[in-house]
Amino acid sequence: MPLIFIALVLSAFFMSFQFTAYNTIAYDEISQDRMSSATSFYTTFQQLMLSLGICIGALALHASMAFNGVETPELGDFSTAFIVVAIISISATIWNLRFSPTAGEEISGYKAKQTKGAAAGS
């Protein structure tokens, strides 16, 4: 039981970390006058994608049940659905690798800290 708790805590930490990073990078290169619209759009898009993930998981579960010819889901069916959703989630890494290393610096405040540090060192 403690191992499950540790796994859940670590999972929650990294999921929160991921959402924070995505929320930071989502508004990179958005001007202040368009920030309100961008926030509304991004929040709606994020909720839509979460819903789509649930739908894909349910579809994978039902497809596995149909393939195995069972009326009620079994452990293997849930494993198949989990693997399908995990593969889709892992594929986001391909897109994340395309980000610039400096993406999000301005909105995170990192760029401002570097500029102040360079000015103080001069």
Structural domain contains residue 91: yes
pLDDT computed for residue 118 by the predictor: 58
CA distance 35 to 62: 40
- How far is residue 15's CA from residue 103's CA, in Å, rounded to a whole number? 20
Torsions phi, psi for 5 (to 5 deg)? -60, -45
Domain membership flag for residue 86: yes
Residues 11-61: pLDDT tens digits?
999 989 888 878 777 777 788 888 889 889 988 998 999 999 999 999 999
Q: Which domain holds residue 77?
A: 73-98
Number of domains in the chain: 1
If phi over 0 gives left and psi between -120 and 50 gives alpha, with beta otherwise, what is residue 16? alpha
User: Mean pLDDT over all residues of the chain?
Assistant: 85
Asked if residue 87 is part of any domain, the answer here is: yes
Q: Specify the pTM.
A: 0.67
In a domain, 94, yes or no: yes
> Do residues 35 and 23 touch, judged by C-beta distance below 8 A?
no
Tell me: the pLDDT tens digits for 14-27? 989 888 878 777 77
Residue 27 near residue 51 (C-beta atoms within 8 A): no
In a domain? residue 63: no
